[in-house]
Structure 1
Amino acid sequence: MRSAQHEHESAIKTPKQLIAAVVAGFMVPIVCIVLLVQYVTNGPKTGAGSDSQTPDMIAARIKPVSDDGFTFRDANGPKQLLSGEEVYKTTCAACHSAGVAGAPKVGDAASWQARIAQGYDTLVSHAINGLRAMPAKGGNPDLDDVEIQRTVVYMANQSGAKFKEPEVKAPAAAPAEGAAPAADAAAAK
Protein backbone atom coordinates (compact mmCIF):
# COMPACT_ATOMS: atom_id res chain seq x y z
CA MET A 1 0.00 0.00 0.00
CA ARG A 2 0.97 3.50 -0.63
CA SER A 3 1.48 5.86 2.19
CA ALA A 4 -0.37 9.15 2.49
CA GLN A 5 2.94 10.91 2.08
CA HIS A 6 3.44 9.65 -1.50
CA GLU A 7 -0.10 10.38 -2.74
CA HIS A 8 0.61 14.01 -3.62
CA GLU A 9 3.86 13.87 -5.44
CA SER A 10 4.98 16.91 -7.45
CA ALA A 11 6.99 17.07 -10.65
CA ILE A 12 9.71 19.00 -8.82
CA LYS A 13 11.80 16.63 -6.80
CA THR A 14 15.16 18.39 -6.46
CA PRO A 15 16.26 21.94 -5.65
CA LYS A 16 17.73 22.24 -9.16
CA GLN A 17 14.30 21.53 -10.69
CA LEU A 18 12.75 24.12 -8.36
CA ILE A 19 15.18 26.82 -9.52
CA ALA A 20 14.54 25.90 -13.17
CA ALA A 21 10.75 26.13 -12.65
CA VAL A 22 10.99 29.55 -10.95
CA VAL A 23 13.28 30.94 -13.68
CA ALA A 24 10.99 29.57 -16.40
CA GLY A 25 7.98 31.09 -14.60
CA PHE A 26 9.55 34.53 -14.91
CA MET A 27 11.29 34.20 -18.25
CA VAL A 28 8.47 32.70 -20.36
CA PRO A 29 6.08 35.67 -19.89
CA ILE A 30 8.93 38.17 -20.41
CA VAL A 31 10.03 36.49 -23.64
CA CYS A 32 6.40 36.35 -24.83
CA ILE A 33 5.95 40.08 -24.16
CA VAL A 34 9.21 40.96 -25.97
CA LEU A 35 8.23 38.87 -28.99
CA LEU A 36 4.74 40.42 -29.07
CA VAL A 37 6.21 43.94 -28.96
CA GLN A 38 8.61 43.03 -31.78
CA TYR A 39 5.73 41.69 -33.86
CA VAL A 40 3.56 44.76 -33.34
CA THR A 41 6.31 47.32 -34.02
CA ASN A 42 8.02 45.53 -36.91
CA GLY A 43 5.71 46.79 -39.72
CA PRO A 44 6.51 49.63 -42.12
CA LYS A 45 6.40 52.93 -40.29
CA THR A 46 5.26 56.24 -41.72
CA GLY A 47 6.00 58.48 -38.82
CA ALA A 48 7.02 62.09 -38.61
CA GLY A 49 10.16 62.70 -40.60
CA SER A 50 10.03 59.54 -42.69
CA ASP A 51 9.18 61.38 -45.90
CA SER A 52 9.53 64.96 -44.74
CA GLN A 53 12.31 65.79 -47.21
CA THR A 54 10.50 64.76 -50.38
CA PRO A 55 9.78 67.63 -52.80
CA ASP A 56 6.01 67.19 -52.39
CA MET A 57 6.16 67.45 -48.60
CA ILE A 58 8.43 70.51 -48.75
CA ALA A 59 6.06 72.20 -51.22
CA ALA A 60 3.09 71.42 -48.95
CA ARG A 61 4.84 73.00 -45.96
CA ILE A 62 5.87 76.22 -47.67
CA LYS A 63 2.76 76.92 -49.73
CA PRO A 64 0.75 79.93 -48.58
CA VAL A 65 -1.97 79.31 -46.03
CA SER A 66 -4.35 81.29 -48.23
CA ASP A 67 -4.35 78.44 -50.76
CA ASP A 68 -6.22 76.15 -48.34
CA GLY A 69 -9.80 77.05 -49.14
CA PHE A 70 -9.57 80.76 -48.38
CA THR A 71 -10.79 83.30 -50.88
CA PHE A 72 -9.61 86.84 -50.46
CA ARG A 73 -11.98 89.43 -51.83
CA ASP A 74 -11.57 93.10 -52.44
CA ALA A 75 -13.85 94.78 -49.91
CA ASN A 76 -14.30 97.75 -52.24
CA GLY A 77 -14.92 95.67 -55.34
CA PRO A 78 -18.35 94.65 -56.55
CA LYS A 79 -19.78 91.57 -54.89
CA GLN A 80 -19.63 88.47 -57.03
CA LEU A 81 -22.89 86.60 -56.50
CA LEU A 82 -22.64 82.83 -56.12
CA SER A 83 -24.89 80.37 -57.90
CA GLY A 84 -27.44 78.33 -55.98
CA GLU A 85 -25.34 75.19 -56.37
CA GLU A 86 -22.21 76.92 -55.02
CA VAL A 87 -24.05 78.22 -51.96
CA TYR A 88 -25.59 74.78 -51.39
CA LYS A 89 -22.19 73.09 -51.51
CA THR A 90 -20.49 75.62 -49.20
CA THR A 91 -23.25 76.38 -46.70
CA CYS A 92 -26.33 74.17 -46.96
CA ALA A 93 -24.93 70.71 -47.75
CA ALA A 94 -23.72 70.19 -44.19
CA CYS A 95 -27.31 69.68 -43.04
CA HIS A 96 -29.37 69.13 -46.19
CA SER A 97 -27.25 66.34 -47.63
CA ALA A 98 -27.50 64.19 -44.49
CA GLY A 99 -30.83 65.30 -43.03
CA VAL A 100 -29.29 66.75 -39.86
CA ALA A 101 -31.75 68.07 -37.22
CA GLY A 102 -34.77 67.30 -39.39
CA ALA A 103 -33.50 69.15 -42.47
CA PRO A 104 -35.05 67.74 -45.64
CA LYS A 105 -32.49 65.96 -47.81
CA VAL A 106 -31.97 67.48 -51.22
CA GLY A 107 -33.31 65.09 -53.85
CA ASP A 108 -35.84 63.45 -51.49
CA ALA A 109 -39.11 64.48 -53.13
CA ALA A 110 -41.24 63.05 -50.32
CA SER A 111 -39.64 65.23 -47.64
CA TRP A 112 -39.83 68.34 -49.85
CA GLN A 113 -43.39 67.86 -51.13
CA ALA A 114 -45.12 69.68 -48.25
CA ARG A 115 -42.52 72.44 -48.25
CA ILE A 116 -42.79 73.00 -52.01
CA ALA A 117 -46.58 73.13 -51.64
CA GLN A 118 -46.18 76.14 -49.29
CA GLY A 119 -44.77 78.09 -52.23
CA TYR A 120 -41.59 79.75 -53.33
CA ASP A 121 -42.04 82.92 -51.24
CA THR A 122 -42.55 80.93 -48.01
CA LEU A 123 -39.46 78.80 -48.68
CA VAL A 124 -37.37 81.91 -49.37
CA SER A 125 -38.69 83.59 -46.20
CA HIS A 126 -37.79 80.55 -44.09
CA ALA A 127 -34.34 80.39 -45.66
CA ILE A 128 -33.61 84.09 -45.14
CA ASN A 129 -35.08 84.41 -41.64
CA GLY A 130 -34.45 80.90 -40.36
CA LEU A 131 -36.87 78.27 -39.15
CA ARG A 132 -36.61 75.90 -36.16
CA ALA A 133 -33.04 74.50 -36.11
CA MET A 134 -31.99 76.28 -39.33
CA PRO A 135 -30.34 79.65 -38.68
CA ALA A 136 -31.04 82.69 -40.82
CA LYS A 137 -29.30 82.42 -44.21
CA GLY A 138 -28.09 78.96 -43.24
CA GLY A 139 -25.71 80.54 -40.72
CA ASN A 140 -23.81 82.59 -43.31
CA PRO A 141 -24.79 86.27 -42.87
CA ASP A 142 -22.54 87.30 -45.79
CA LEU A 143 -24.95 85.77 -48.30
CA ASP A 144 -27.08 88.14 -50.35
CA ASP A 145 -30.84 87.57 -50.55
CA VAL A 146 -30.50 86.80 -54.26
CA GLU A 147 -27.99 84.06 -53.44
CA ILE A 148 -30.46 82.59 -50.93
CA GLN A 149 -33.24 82.74 -53.54
CA ARG A 150 -31.02 80.96 -56.06
CA THR A 151 -30.17 78.31 -53.50
CA VAL A 152 -33.83 77.72 -52.62
CA VAL A 153 -34.59 77.29 -56.33
CA TYR A 154 -31.65 74.90 -56.76
CA MET A 155 -32.53 72.75 -53.74
CA ALA A 156 -36.29 72.68 -54.44
CA ASN A 157 -35.80 71.91 -58.14
CA GLN A 158 -33.46 69.04 -57.24
CA SER A 159 -36.31 67.71 -55.10
CA GLY A 160 -39.17 67.93 -57.59
CA ALA A 161 -40.16 71.61 -57.82
CA LYS A 162 -40.22 73.65 -61.02
CA PHE A 163 -39.24 77.10 -59.70
CA LYS A 164 -37.70 79.71 -62.01
CA GLU A 165 -34.27 81.20 -61.27
CA PRO A 166 -34.67 84.71 -59.75
CA GLU A 167 -33.65 87.67 -61.88
CA VAL A 168 -30.80 89.81 -60.64
CA LYS A 169 -31.32 93.54 -60.97
CA ALA A 170 -28.28 95.35 -62.37
CA PRO A 171 -26.81 97.99 -60.03
CA ALA A 172 -27.40 101.63 -60.95
CA ALA A 173 -24.73 102.89 -63.34
CA ALA A 174 -22.24 105.24 -61.71
CA PRO A 175 -21.44 108.49 -63.54
CA ALA A 176 -18.30 108.43 -65.67
CA GLU A 177 -15.14 109.65 -63.97
CA GLY A 178 -14.69 112.61 -66.31
CA ALA A 179 -18.28 113.78 -65.87
CA ALA A 180 -18.08 114.29 -62.10
CA PRO A 181 -15.28 116.93 -62.07
CA ALA A 182 -16.93 118.78 -64.97
CA ALA A 183 -20.25 118.92 -63.10
CA ASP A 184 -18.47 120.17 -59.94
CA ALA A 185 -16.68 122.88 -61.94
CA ALA A 186 -19.92 124.04 -63.56
CA ALA A 187 -21.63 124.25 -60.16
CA ALA A 188 -18.78 126.32 -58.74
CA LYS A 189 -19.21 129.11 -61.41
Structure 2
Amino acid sequence: MHTLIRDAQITKHDFVFYADRLIRLVVERGLGHLPFTEKQVITPTGSVYTGVDFCKRLCGVSVIRSGESMENALRACCKGIKIGKILIHREGDNGQQLIYEKLPMDISDRHVLLSDPILGTGNSAVQAISLLIRKGVPESNIIFLNLISAPLGVHVVCKKFPKIKIVTSEIEIGLNKDFRVIPGMGEFGDRYFGTDDDEQLVVPSQ
Protein backbone atom coordinates (compact mmCIF):
# COMPACT_ATOMS: atom_id res chain seq x y z
CA MET A 1 0.00 0.00 0.00
CA HIS A 2 2.90 2.35 0.70
CA THR A 3 4.34 1.60 -2.74
CA LEU A 4 1.03 2.44 -4.38
CA ILE A 5 0.27 5.72 -2.58
CA ARG A 6 3.84 6.98 -3.01
CA ASP A 7 3.69 6.49 -6.79
CA ALA A 8 3.28 9.89 -8.45
CA GLN A 9 1.39 8.23 -11.33
CA ILE A 10 -1.37 6.60 -9.25
CA THR A 11 -4.93 7.76 -9.96
CA LYS A 12 -6.71 9.87 -7.35
CA HIS A 13 -9.29 7.11 -6.84
CA ASP A 14 -6.61 4.52 -6.08
CA PHE A 15 -4.64 6.93 -3.91
CA VAL A 16 -7.69 7.57 -1.73
CA PHE A 17 -8.61 3.86 -1.61
CA TYR A 18 -5.20 2.70 -0.39
CA ALA A 19 -4.62 5.73 1.83
CA ASP A 20 -7.93 4.97 3.54
CA ARG A 21 -6.85 1.35 4.11
CA LEU A 22 -3.60 2.49 5.72
CA ILE A 23 -5.38 5.12 7.80
CA ARG A 24 -7.80 2.49 9.10
CA LEU A 25 -4.88 0.30 10.21
CA VAL A 26 -3.24 3.24 12.02
CA VAL A 27 -6.50 4.17 13.75
CA GLU A 28 -7.10 0.57 14.85
CA ARG A 29 -3.57 0.35 16.26
CA GLY A 30 -4.04 3.69 18.03
CA LEU A 31 -7.23 2.46 19.67
CA GLY A 32 -5.26 -0.48 21.03
CA HIS A 33 -3.30 1.94 23.22
CA LEU A 34 -6.39 3.20 25.03
CA PRO A 35 -7.21 1.97 28.54
CA PHE A 36 -9.68 -0.90 28.88
CA THR A 37 -11.66 -2.29 31.79
CA GLU A 38 -12.64 -5.91 32.30
CA LYS A 39 -16.23 -6.77 31.41
CA GLN A 40 -18.27 -9.97 31.52
CA VAL A 41 -21.09 -10.76 29.08
CA ILE A 42 -23.44 -13.69 28.59
CA THR A 43 -23.02 -15.36 25.19
CA PRO A 44 -25.94 -16.85 23.16
CA THR A 45 -24.98 -20.26 24.55
CA GLY A 46 -25.58 -19.02 28.09
CA SER A 47 -21.87 -19.01 28.89
CA VAL A 48 -19.98 -16.21 30.64
CA TYR A 49 -17.32 -14.53 28.54
CA THR A 50 -14.75 -12.28 30.26
CA GLY A 51 -13.54 -9.59 27.91
CA VAL A 52 -12.80 -5.88 27.96
CA ASP A 53 -14.88 -2.72 27.76
CA PHE A 54 -13.80 0.06 25.43
CA CYS A 55 -12.70 3.47 26.73
CA LYS A 56 -15.83 5.65 26.70
CA ARG A 57 -14.29 9.11 27.14
CA LEU A 58 -12.71 9.58 23.73
CA CYS A 59 -12.58 12.20 20.97
CA GLY A 60 -10.70 12.86 17.78
CA VAL A 61 -8.95 16.09 16.78
CA SER A 62 -7.87 16.59 13.17
CA VAL A 63 -5.30 19.12 12.01
CA ILE A 64 -7.00 20.87 9.07
CA ARG A 65 -6.81 20.03 6.18
CA SER A 66 -4.93 16.77 5.75
CA GLY A 67 -5.99 15.45 9.14
CA GLU A 68 -9.61 15.49 8.01
CA SER A 69 -8.80 12.57 5.70
CA MET A 70 -8.55 10.40 8.83
CA GLU A 71 -11.97 11.30 10.23
CA ASN A 72 -13.93 8.65 8.31
CA ALA A 73 -11.78 5.89 9.79
CA LEU A 74 -12.29 7.31 13.27
CA ARG A 75 -16.06 7.39 12.80
CA ALA A 76 -16.07 3.87 11.36
CA CYS A 77 -14.16 2.51 14.36
CA CYS A 78 -15.83 4.61 17.07
CA LYS A 79 -19.54 5.15 16.48
CA GLY A 80 -20.65 8.67 17.41
CA ILE A 81 -17.16 9.93 18.28
CA LYS A 82 -16.79 13.69 18.74
CA ILE A 83 -14.21 15.27 16.45
CA GLY A 84 -12.59 18.66 16.98
CA LYS A 85 -10.48 20.65 14.54
CA ILE A 86 -7.31 22.73 14.66
CA LEU A 87 -5.99 24.90 11.81
CA ILE A 88 -2.33 25.90 11.86
CA HIS A 89 -0.79 28.14 9.21
CA ARG A 90 2.48 26.62 8.04
CA GLU A 91 5.19 28.71 6.43
CA GLY A 92 8.33 26.71 5.70
CA ASP A 93 10.10 25.32 8.75
CA ASN A 94 8.71 27.81 11.23
CA GLY A 95 6.18 30.61 11.41
CA GLN A 96 3.43 28.28 12.60
CA GLN A 97 0.38 30.23 13.65
CA LEU A 98 -2.80 28.92 15.22
CA ILE A 99 -5.65 30.27 13.10
CA TYR A 100 -8.69 28.28 14.22
CA GLU A 101 -9.71 25.71 16.81
CA LYS A 102 -13.00 24.08 17.63
CA LEU A 103 -12.80 21.43 20.33
CA PRO A 104 -15.30 19.57 22.53
CA MET A 105 -16.08 21.56 25.68
CA ASP A 106 -15.19 18.59 27.90
CA ILE A 107 -12.00 17.66 26.03
CA SER A 108 -9.97 17.79 29.26
CA ASP A 109 -11.87 14.72 30.46
CA ARG A 110 -11.23 12.69 27.32
CA HIS A 111 -8.51 10.67 25.65
CA VAL A 112 -7.61 12.42 22.39
CA LEU A 113 -6.67 10.89 19.04
CA LEU A 114 -4.83 13.71 17.25
CA SER A 115 -4.70 13.14 13.47
CA ASP A 116 -2.31 14.51 10.85
CA PRO A 117 -1.06 12.19 8.06
CA ILE A 118 2.45 13.68 7.78
CA LEU A 119 4.85 14.42 10.66
CA GLY A 120 7.69 16.49 9.21
CA THR A 121 9.62 18.98 11.35
CA GLY A 122 7.26 18.43 14.26
CA ASN A 123 6.64 22.15 14.73
CA SER A 124 2.95 22.04 13.82
CA ALA A 125 2.43 18.92 15.92
CA VAL A 126 4.05 20.63 18.92
CA GLN A 127 1.70 23.60 18.50
CA ALA A 128 -1.37 21.35 18.24
CA ILE A 129 -0.35 19.27 21.26
CA SER A 130 0.46 22.42 23.26
CA LEU A 131 -3.06 23.71 22.56
CA LEU A 132 -4.60 20.44 23.79
CA ILE A 133 -2.55 20.61 26.97
CA ARG A 134 -3.58 24.25 27.53
CA LYS A 135 -7.17 23.04 27.24
CA GLY A 136 -6.50 20.67 30.14
CA VAL A 137 -5.85 17.40 28.31
CA PRO A 138 -3.24 15.34 30.19
CA GLU A 139 -0.20 14.70 28.03
CA SER A 140 -0.51 10.95 28.62
CA ASN A 141 -4.08 11.06 27.22
CA ILE A 142 -2.93 12.14 23.74
CA ILE A 143 -2.24 9.64 20.95
CA PHE A 144 -0.86 11.18 17.75
CA LEU A 145 -1.89 9.28 14.60
CA ASN A 146 -0.12 9.73 11.27
CA LEU A 147 0.87 7.78 8.16
CA ILE A 148 4.51 8.76 7.76
CA SER A 149 6.96 10.44 10.14
CA ALA A 150 10.34 12.06 9.63
CA PRO A 151 12.87 11.14 12.34
CA LEU A 152 13.34 14.82 13.21
CA GLY A 153 9.62 15.26 13.85
CA VAL A 154 9.47 12.17 16.05
CA HIS A 155 12.41 13.41 18.14
CA VAL A 156 11.03 16.95 18.43
CA VAL A 157 7.60 15.77 19.60
CA CYS A 158 8.85 13.05 21.94
CA LYS A 159 11.49 15.28 23.52
CA LYS A 160 8.94 17.98 24.34
CA PHE A 161 6.09 15.60 25.23
CA PRO A 162 7.63 12.33 26.48
CA LYS A 163 4.29 10.98 27.73
CA ILE A 164 2.35 11.03 24.45
CA LYS A 165 2.25 8.10 22.04
CA ILE A 166 2.89 8.40 18.30
CA VAL A 167 1.33 5.75 16.04
CA THR A 168 2.66 5.78 12.47
CA SER A 169 2.87 3.30 9.59
CA GLU A 170 6.39 4.21 8.45
CA ILE A 171 9.39 6.32 9.48
CA GLU A 172 10.98 8.19 6.57
CA ILE A 173 14.58 8.89 5.59
CA GLY A 174 14.39 12.54 6.59
CA LEU A 175 13.65 16.04 5.27
CA ASN A 176 15.01 17.85 2.22
CA LYS A 177 16.20 21.48 2.13
CA ASP A 178 12.59 22.65 1.76
CA PHE A 179 11.63 20.69 4.90
CA ARG A 180 9.55 18.23 2.88
CA VAL A 181 9.50 14.62 4.00
CA ILE A 182 11.51 12.28 1.75
CA PRO A 183 10.87 9.93 0.06
CA GLY A 184 7.40 11.06 1.21
CA MET A 185 4.19 11.06 -0.77
CA GLY A 186 3.88 14.71 -1.81
CA GLU A 187 1.19 17.10 -0.60
CA PHE A 188 -1.13 14.61 1.04
CA GLY A 189 -4.16 16.90 1.32
CA ASP A 190 -4.00 17.94 -2.33
CA ARG A 191 -3.66 14.34 -3.51
CA TYR A 192 -6.40 13.05 -1.22
CA PHE A 193 -8.96 15.78 -1.84
CA GLY A 194 -8.06 16.32 -5.50
CA THR A 195 -7.06 19.97 -5.16
CA ASP A 196 -3.96 21.90 -6.16
CA ASP A 197 -1.67 24.37 -4.44
CA ASP A 198 -3.46 27.35 -5.99
CA GLU A 199 -6.72 26.60 -4.23
CA GLN A 200 -7.29 28.70 -1.16
CA LEU A 201 -8.39 27.14 2.09
CA VAL A 202 -11.62 28.55 3.48
CA VAL A 203 -11.42 28.99 7.25
CA PRO A 204 -14.69 28.06 8.99
CA SER A 205 -16.21 30.80 11.11
CA GLN A 206 -16.60 30.20 14.82
Under a length normalisation based on structure 1, what TM-score does the superposition of the two structures give? 0.21
Mark the structure with the bigger radius of gyration: 1
Relative contact order: is structure 1 or structure 2 higher (C-alpha 8 Å, sep ≥ 6)? 2
